[in-house]
Structures are given as structure tokens and as C-alpha cells.
């Protein structure tokens, strides 16, 4: 089945893809965003379980540029986001250390995926649409059997996945480190103990762990503790293909309990998620790549210009500007999110 013609098709509904799509949509282009998942945001992911929720991918946002700060200010004004803490502690050599400096860390009390939903306002979205092949003339064939037709294609997914759709040595140069996340929920009677702790999250210098986050503290009125424990790359590489992920998650909780919270080993609910493409190891310096094709084909993501969500945001904006320049040079507007 051939769908109606779009001017621009964007593969990937993470930060870079949604930012690029929103800018072009606001400029009047007919844009469609496709993603293999049922939800938005990519690694800006929120798991909803047992009456609560937790961010099991990106843990928080800490702006460095004025552009990204402006976006977060708008999210705060609309009560989509808020400052969670200005102090992320460290766990080093079995000791919890307070940070020497302070910086605002932003989250969403309803889950970080709410930011992706905000950026998707007004867009044509096709979720659960895994693109399996892209043919010249830009026919995007989806696993569902649907075919999307477009004049221009932007691929905004991890470089190894992009390389499966378009063979290019530059895409193969980008390597990722994996991560395994354990998402655990605990009895409500533990909530008062969590609220008395002097820290909300720990960056871990550890042989197995990378992060321990008291995720329920991001909520306005948390009812019960929700904790996210993330592995470091070495641990994830060792256990990424393990058939029993539940045991892997239990091991992460056991290690995390050594921060002085022995009850972390006894959750009411435990779910485990593996991130095969968690962190670009050596991002490309460019904000986007342009393929040598008859019709425009561009690539972007958090592996372009850096490896943080903010870099993905900036890469998406840069891609939209360049694509607009190559097409009709319409008025994009530098603060497009104000119009949503």
C-alpha cells in the first residue's frame, strides 16, 4: 500500500528527529515521523509500572547552551519539566561524596518522555513503523507492509541502525557502548526513608554500576519508591545477550544496595531493559551528514556533534536549517517551540 506523498520523511522519533521535524513542520513543510517503537523519545524513555513510573534511559537534562536552556525554560513554563536537583552525588570507593559544584538538573515529574510528547505536538507520527528498506525516489518500506513516499529523507537513529538502511563507511565509524537498566518499585512504607536521604542520585565510579537514581523523587507527590540502577559499559557488554535479564537486574540491585540501602535487593516489581546503543563513544564532529544522492538524504542524531541529549537537540536544529536552505529557504523561526 502506497501512502500519500510527504515532502519530508524523518526516521526516528528521538530528540534529534522530533526537533528537526518540528522546525520543518512549523515552516510549513509536510512532514512525517516514523519510529519502530510504540512511544516517543528514543532514550528519553519512561517505564510505567505498578502505578508509578521511572526514567530508564536518559536520567536528567543539564543545559549548557542558551538554545537548550530556552527550550527547558519553555517546558518549565508549561509545567512539562522542572528542576529536580542541583547536586548529583558520587559513589566512589564505597563512599558517597557531594559534588563540588552545583548545576540545575531538569526532569519531568510525569516522566522524561513527556518532553518528547511536547516536541511532537502537531506532527504526523507513524509509530510501530519499523523502516526496513529505503529505495530511490524515496520509498520507505515498513515492516508492517506500508510504504511511505517522500521527496526528502532524514534518518535520525543510531548510526549502526542507519547503516542497515544505507551502506556508508562514515556510519560504520560510529561505535556505541551499551547499558543495562534495572527499574525497581518498592513498598510505600519505604518512601519516608527515601525522602530523608541527603542525595537523589549517584554517579558511580564502580566495577559494575554507572548510576543509581531515586526516580520517584522526580515526582510532585510520590507514593512509593521507584529506583533506577544503570550498569556501566563493561558490565553491559558482558551481560547484554544474557537470556535471563531478570537475574542480571537482581545483580545490579544487589550491588546498588551497598550504598547503605539493603532493602534495594527486595523490590515489589523489577523490570530490566538493555540499551544496545546507549552512548556514542566517539561522536562525529559534524551536526549532520549529507549523502551523495539525487534526492536529499541526511543523517543526524546524538552521535553528531556530541553524545548528550543537548547535542541531539542541536543536531536536529542544524539539520532542519540546512535542509530548509537546500529546499525553499522558508522562515523557520529560531524559537519554534514557543509556537506549540
pLDDT of 47 > 50? The answer is yes
Query: What integer pLDDT is reported at residue 332 of this predicted model?
Result: 59
Q: 28 to each of 31, 71, 146, 238, 298, how far by Cα in Å?
A: 9, 21, 25, 47, 19
Task: For 198-241, write each residue's pLDDT tens digit.
Answer: 999 999 999 999 999 999 999 999 999 999 999 999 999 999 99
pLDDT of 148 > 70? The answer is yes
pLDDT of 289 > 50? The answer is yes
pLDDT of 4 > 80? The answer is no
Task: For 91-122, write each residue's pLDDT tens digit.
Answer: 999 999 999 888 999 999 999 999 999 999 99
CB-CB contact of 136 with 128 (8 Å): no
Query: What integer pLDDT is reported at residue 335 of this predicted model?
Result: 45
pLDDT confidence of 40, banded at 50, 70, 90?
very high
5 vs 65, higher pLDDT: 65
Residue of 15, 4, 62, 48 lying closest to 201 (CA atoms):
62
Only one residue has cell 540499551, namely 275
Alpha-carbon span 92 to 323, nearest angstrom? 46
> Which class for 151: exposed (0-12), middle (13-18), buried (19 or more C-beta within 10 A)?
middle
Domain layout of the chain by residue ranges: 2-42+116-173+282-339, 59-111+176-280
pLDDT of 338 > 60? The answer is no
CB-CB contact of 24 with 31 (8 Å): yes
Angle of helix 309-326 relative to helix 15-26, nearest 10 degrees, comes to 40
DSSP letter for 61, please. B
pLDDT of 331 > 90? The answer is no
User: What does the pLDDT average to over 265-276?
Assistant: 98
pLDDT confidence of 310, banded at 50, 70, 90?
very high
Alpha-carbon span 77 to 118, nearest angstrom? 12
CATH number belonging to the domain at 59-111+176-280, selected among 3.90.660.10, 1.20.58.110, 3.30.1050.10, 3.40.30.10: 3.90.660.10
Query: What integer pLDDT is reported at residue 339 of this predicted model?
Result: 45
Per the CATH hierarchy, to which homologous superfamily does domain 2-42+116-173+282-339 belong? FAD/NAD(P)-binding domain (3.50.50.60)
Average the pLDDT over each of 146-150, 264-268, 316-320, 335-339 and give the range with the smallest value.
Answer: 335-339
Query: What integer pLDDT is reported at residue 204 of this predicted model?
Result: 97
pLDDT confidence of 311, banded at 50, 70, 90?
very high
Query: What integer pLDDT is reported at residue 50 of this predicted model?
Result: 87
Task: For 153-186, write each residue's pLDDT tens digit.
Answer: 999 999 999 999 999 999 999 999 999 999 999 9
pLDDT confidence of 333, banded at 50, 70, 90?
low
pLDDT of 244 > 80? The answer is yes
pLDDT of 10 > 70? The answer is yes
Query: What integer pLDDT is reported at residue 328 of this predicted model?
Result: 77
Amino acid at each position: 500500500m502506497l501512502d500519500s506523498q510527504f515532502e519530508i520523511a524523518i526516521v526516528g522519533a528521538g530528540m534529534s528527529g522530533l526537533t528537526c521535524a518540528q522546525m520543518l513542520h512549523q515552516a510549513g513543510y509536510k512532514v512525517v515521523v516514523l519510529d519502530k517503537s510504540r512511544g516517543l523519545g528514543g532514550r528519553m524513555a519512561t517505564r510505567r509500572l505498578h502505578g508509578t513510573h521511572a526514567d530508564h534511559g536518559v536520567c536528567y537534562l543539564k543545559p549548557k547552551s542558551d538554545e537548550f536552556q530556552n527550550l527547558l525554560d519553555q517546558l518549565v513554563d508549561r509545567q512539562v519539566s522542572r528542576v529536580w536537583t542541583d547536586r548529583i552525588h558520587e559513589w566512589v570507593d564505597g563512599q558517597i561524596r557531594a559534588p563540588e559544584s552545583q548545576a540545575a538538573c531538569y526532569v519531568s515529574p510525569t516522566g522524561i518522555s513527556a518532553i518528547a510528547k511536547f516536541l511532537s505536538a502537531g506532527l504526523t507520527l507513524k509509530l510501530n513503523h519499523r523502516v526496513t528498506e529505503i529505495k530511490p525516489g524515496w520509498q520507505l518500506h515498513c515492516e508492517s507492509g506500508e510504504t511511505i513516499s517522500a521527496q526528502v529523507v532524514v534518518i535520525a537513529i543510531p548510526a549502526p541502525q542507519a547503516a542497515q538502511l544505507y551502506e556508508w563507511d562514515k556510519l560504520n565509524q560510529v561505535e556505541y557502548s551499551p547499558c543495562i537498566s534495572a527499574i525497581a518499585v518498592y513498598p510505600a512504607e519505604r518512601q519516608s526513608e527515601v525522602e530523608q536521604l541527603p542525595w537523589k542520585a549517584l554517579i558511580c565510579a564502580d566495577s559494575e554500576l554507572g548510576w543509581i537514581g531515586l526516580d520517584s523523587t522526580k515526582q510532585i507527590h510520590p507514593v512509593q519508591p521507584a529506583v533506577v540502577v544503570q550498569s556501566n559499559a563493561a558490565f553491559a557488554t558482558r551481560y547484554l545477550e544474557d537470556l535471563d535479564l531478570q537475574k542480571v537486574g537482581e545483580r545490579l540491585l544487589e550491588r546498588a544496595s551497598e550504598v547503605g540501602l539493603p532493602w534495594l535487593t527486595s523490590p515489589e516489581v523489577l523490570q530490566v531493559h538493555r540499551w544496545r546503543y546507549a552512548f556514542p563513544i566517539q561522536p562525529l564532529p559534524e551536526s549532520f551528514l549529507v549523502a551523495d544522492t539525487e534526492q536529499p538524504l541526511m543523517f543526524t542524531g546524538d552521535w553528531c556533534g556530541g553524545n548528550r541529549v543537548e547535542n541531539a537537540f542541536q543536531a536536529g536544529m542544524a539539520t532542519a536549517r540546512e535542509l530548509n536552505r537546500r529546499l525553499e529557504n522558508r522562515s523557520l523561526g529560531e524559537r519554534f517551540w514557543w509556537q506549540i
